[in-house]
Amino acid sequence: MGQLAESRTIAGELPLSPNAVVVLKKRYLKKDDNGEVTEGAQEMFRRVAETIAQVDLAYDPKAEVAKTTRKFYELMANLFFMPNSPTLMNAGRELGQLSACFVLPVEDSIESIFDAIKHTAIIHKSGGGTGFSFSRIRPENDGVLSTKGVASGPISFMNIFDVATETIKQGGTRRGANMGILRIDHPDIERFITCKNDTKRLTNFNISVGLTDAFMTAVQEKADFPLINPRTGEEVKRVKAHALFDLIVESAWATGEPGIIFLDAVNRGNTIPHLGEIEATNPCGEQPLLPYESCNLGSLNLAKVVKDGAVDYSLLKKIVHTAVHFLDNVIDANNFPLESIQEQTLANRKIGLGVMGFADMLIQMGIPYNTEEAVALGEEVMAFIQKEARLASASLADKRGNFKFYAGSRFDGNGIGRMRNATTTTIAPTGTISIIAGCSSGIEPLFAVSYVRRVLEGTELVEAHPLFEEIAKQRGFYSTELMRQIAQTGSIREFKEIPKDVRRLFVTAHEVSPQWHIRLQAAFQKHTDNAVSKTVNFPHQAGPDDVRQVYLMAYEMGLKGVTIYRDGSRDQQVLSFGKGKPKEMEYIVPRPRPARTTGVTELINTGCGKLYVTVNRDEMGFCEVFAQMGKTGGCASSQIESTGRLISLALRSGVKIDALIKQITGIRCPSPIWQNGHQVLSCPDAIAKVLAGVAQVEAPAPTMTMASCPDCGGAIEHEGGCLVCRGCGFSKCN
């Protein structure tokens, strides 16, 4: 069967894109023993709808199951809503495990640790992902009374979890994923923060540091912070809070990990605090859970609820109510991997209704992503969804009863008087389900306006965002050559032949400043029961201080967690230091200074006086730096001159200017000074500020690094701790 004919067979009458067909065939549709697809998309949606609708009979023997089946089918077939991947894959099939995320407890004993490893294997085999807090495990070198030996610490046990995950292949449909969290006050926290700086280690883990309000206060006050042995509850030592925070920042800047979870913010949003504190989340961080809880997720397609340039709230309300009914039924239809998970999930009945297609919604409404209007719309839409999801849950409670531990929950006594589900909303990564729905991922901006999709026998097809292609044709600047040129970087920022308003509207992830990423995330978090999965993108030339400011901003704005990714930071292996001696030392010879250079001289005030900094370049890039302070002489003059000479030597030896900036930024002297709202700490710090300004001016407009998919060679996008290829559906964790 030809590819086009096969696509028509799989899609049937449904409005599915070629990418959606590829993803469905690869990961979701039933196959026979020979690996041949035996159902189309319509049959898949019907299989899921029938299975989930049957649950109604358990609550009402006279339920109109056929009518509910049709509602659920139309919800998915019209691409208004998609449940999480395990539900699409497994509903109505032998496995029958429908949940995406679980949290398992890990106590400070060998028995508990290896029970958790066994349970992890069972969950991964069924297609789920797992989250753990390792904060209860005693630190490395702590005493073990039963053997008179010493403990190996939480990180050593994480390695065992990682190997177990690698072994379980999940039937070839979903890749095992874990989240490992360690509290900031654990004595092994420094090793944990840097444990993934070697990016070949713990490859089946995302890691996050659990930050507390007390720690963040200590950071802001530059105070000492106690590390506590979880076995004894006693203080082990004190560390400089700001130095520990800087270690997190530096590691995240270098590799994207660890992420951060604000534990107190998470527990302020815990709707069932009488059952215990939340310590862990699912692999992408958006679903905080108590031990043995699971959560069933699904996402609304916001691109489908825009009519005549405005949000159709009447349609959105209907979709929300049907989706909440669907997700509550999923809980009862589920074949849980462990009895303890079944018991806890049925007791609390957490669901997580989220969104996708937000960037598409904005484009349809003519609103650029990085604007006040976008922030306001995001908050307005999510507030509506939250309100209607809770009303839908309350309506179900009238017919089916409250969740078991409603009494004492935060809903008890709030005026509603009933609630079927302990939580109703979560914004999760939507990688592959957004491909099926043909919309943008989650609440992320567009990853690319146009990109290359690789198909059979190495053939490359250029695919443009459908709304961009439509506008390009309407306004007369469309051409296949233009689309191919755009696909090289994904951005239209530098294409002057494209009208300015169109370039402003179709902004991509790396063109949105980190501050706007945080503001959009905060807008949605205000009206989300659980958490919001989102990646804050940084250009490659961003420095650690940029990451630091975003973390502080996220805390101030009440976020529950943050994931950052600096463009290109994972493209090469981060240096790790072994014990072996190199066989042969290689020395670098700097290129000679050219006869002619061009550059700029900038005056900057320091505590020692006015400093003149000259930065020159040749045809190969930056090559030398001179600095001079007025008429000063003696020791100060010689030190400033030597700093310039060493920087010049490094530049002509091929050292990147951002690496040099990083090294001399923040050096302090006894006489700091303020200039234009920024503190200049010393002469080297002043030189760093000039270099950073020059580098920013000289740098090309930020564009994304089109990292390659391991399956098809297409572009990989980062989303909430996940890696997703929109060309073939490869996904790291969902």
What mean pLDDT is predicted for residues 427-444? 94
Multiple choice CATH, 3-97+296-435, 2.60.40.1220, 3.90.226.10, 1.10.290.10, 3.20.70.20: 3.20.70.20
Please check the confidence at residue 579 and state whether its pLDDT lies above 70: no
Fold match flag (3-97+296-435 vs 101-281)? yes
How many Å apart are CA 208 and CA 178, to the nearest integer? 11
Q: Is 235 a catalytic residue?
A: no
Instruction: Output the six-digit token pair for 412.
Output: 């008890």
Distance CA 23, CA 89 (A): 12
Looking at the predicted structure, is the pLDDT value of residue 488 above 90? no
| 133 touches 289 (CB < 8 A) | no
Specify the DSSP element, H or E, that contains 556. helix 544-556
| pLDDT of 602 above 90 | no
Sign for the CA dihedral angle at 77, 79, 81, 85 comes to positive
Average pLDDT over the chain reads: 89
- Of 640 and 732, the structure prediction assigns the larger pLDDT to 640
Residues of the chain above pLDDT 70, percent: 89
Residue 67, pLDDT > 90, answer yes
The two three-digit tokens of residue 636, written as one number: 């100060």
Name which of 85, 264, 257 is nearest 179 in CA terms: 257
Asked if 561 and 281 count as a contact pair (C-beta separation under 8 A), the reply is yes
The pTM is what?
0.82
Q: Which helix (H) or strand (E) holds 225?
A: strand 224-228
Known catalytic membership, residue 195: no
Count of CA atoms in the C-beta half-sphere (13 A) of 685: 19
Q: How far apart are CA 241 and CA 220, in angstroms?
A: 9
- Residue 302 CB neighbours (<10 A): 28
Amino acid (1-letter code) at residue 169: K
pLDDT band at 649 (very low <50, low <70, confident <90, very high): confident
Calpha distance 454→489 (Å, rounded) = 16
For residues 707 and 414, give the distance between their C-alpha atoms in angstroms, rounded to a whole number: 49
Is pLDDT of 6 > 80?
Answer: no
Least confident of 114-128, 351-365, 641-655, 695-709: 695-709
Mean pLDDT on 321-332? 98
The angle formed by the CA atoms of residues 481, 484 and 488, to the nearest 5 degrees, is: 140
Please give the backbone phi and psi of residue 450, each rounded to the nearest 5 degrees, phi first. Answer: -145, 145
Please state which of the ranges 190-194, 388-392, 459-463, 674-678 shows the lowest mean pLDDT.
674-678
**Class of residue 129 by CB neighbours under 10 A (exposed 0-12, middle 13-18, buried 19+):** buried
SS3 624: strand
Q: Where are the domains of the chain?
A: 3-97+296-435, 101-281, 448-507, 599-698
**From 286, 388, 511, 719, the catalytic residue:** 286
- Cα–Cα distance between 443 and 465 in angstroms, integer? 16
For 198-238, what is each residue's pLDDT tens digit?
878 898 999 999 999 999 999 999 999 999 999 999 999 99
Q: How far apart are the first and last CA of the chain?
A: 30
What average pLDDT score do residues 592-614 get?
84
Query: Poorest-confidence range of 65-79, 483-497, 522-536, 592-606?
Result: 592-606
pLDDT band per the 50, 70, 90 thresholds, residue 628: confident
Integer angstrom CA distances of residue 208 from 119, 133, 194, 196, 262? 21, 10, 11, 11, 10
Query: What is the pLDDT, as a whole number, of residue 530?
Result: 97
Peptide bond into 258 cis (omega under 30): yes
Catalytic residue among 101, 195, 284, 295: 284
Amino acid, res. 603: L
Give the whole-angstrom CA distance, residue 179 versus residue 282: 6
Just give the CATH number of 101-281. 3.20.70.20
- Lowest mean pLDDT: which of 155-159, 307-311, 715-719? 715-719
| The pLDDT of residue 657 | 87
Mean pLDDT of 677-704: 75
pLDDT band at 171 (very low <50, low <70, confident <90, very high): very low
Structure tokens at 321: 């109510």
Q: Give the pairing type, strands 101-103 and 129-133.
A: parallel
Cα–Cα nearest to 154, from 131, 187, 130, 178 = 187
- List the one residue out of 208, 219, 195, 339 whose CA is nearest residue 279: 208
pLDDT of 358 above 60: yes
State the DSSP code for 82.
Answer: E
Give the pLDDT score at 155: 95
Vertex 652 angle, CA 649 and 658, to 5°: 90
- Residue 121's contacts (CB-CB under 8 Å, 6 or more residues apart) are 164, 165, 167, 168
**188: amino acid identity, one letter:** D
Phi, psi of 684 (to 5 degrees): -60, -40
41 Cβ contact list (under 8 Å, min separation 6) = 10, 11, 12, 14, 16, 20, 21, 24, 29, 77
Q: How confident is the model at residue 451 (pLDDT cuts 50, 70, 90)?
A: confident
Among the listed residues 260, 468, 510, the one whose alpha carbon sits nearest the alpha carbon of residue 362: 468
Check residue 711 and give its pLDDT.
66
Q: Is 92 helix (H, G, I), strand (E, B) or coil?
A: coil
Mean pLDDT value of segment 273-278 = 97
pLDDT on residue 458: 56
Per-residue pLDDT tens for 530-546? Answer: 999 999 999 888 999 99
Q: Transcribe 265-300 into DSSP letters.
A: HHHHT-S-GGG----EE-TTSS-EE-TT-EEEEEEE
pLDDT class of 584 with cuts at 50, 70, 90: very low
What is the mean pLDDT of the segment spanning 629-639? 70
Q: Which residue has the tokens 């030339």?
A: 541
Structure tokens at 17: 């894109």
Q: Which structure tokens are listed for 532?
A: 């919001």
Residue 448: closest CA among 523, 359, 517, 364? 359
pLDDT of residue 677: 63
pLDDT at 575: 26
pLDDT band at residue 166 under the 50/70/90 scheme: confident
Residue whose C-alpha is closest to residue 520's, from 361, 392, 630: 361
Active-site entry in 282, 296, 301, 370: 282
Q: Is 597 exposed, middle or buried (0-12, 13-18, 19+ CB in 10 A)?
A: middle
Non-local CB neighbours of 177 within 8 Å, separated by 6+ positions: 129, 130, 165, 204, 206, 283, 284, 732, 733, 734
Hey, what are 575's tokens?
Answer: 């240096």
Give the distance, in angstroms, between the CA of residue 410 and the centroid of all CA atoms in the same chain: 28
What percent of the chain is modeled with pLDDT above 90?
65
Mean pLDDT computed over 76-91: 96
Where would I find the H helices in 168-208? 189-193
Report the pLDDT value the prediction gives residue 380, as an integer from 0 to 100: 98
Q: What is the pLDDT of residue 168?
A: 79
pLDDT (0 to 100) of residue 463: 85
DSSP label of 71 = H
| Stronger pLDDT, 258 or 580, i.e. the higher one | 258
Known catalytic residue at 286: yes
pLDDT for res 218: 98
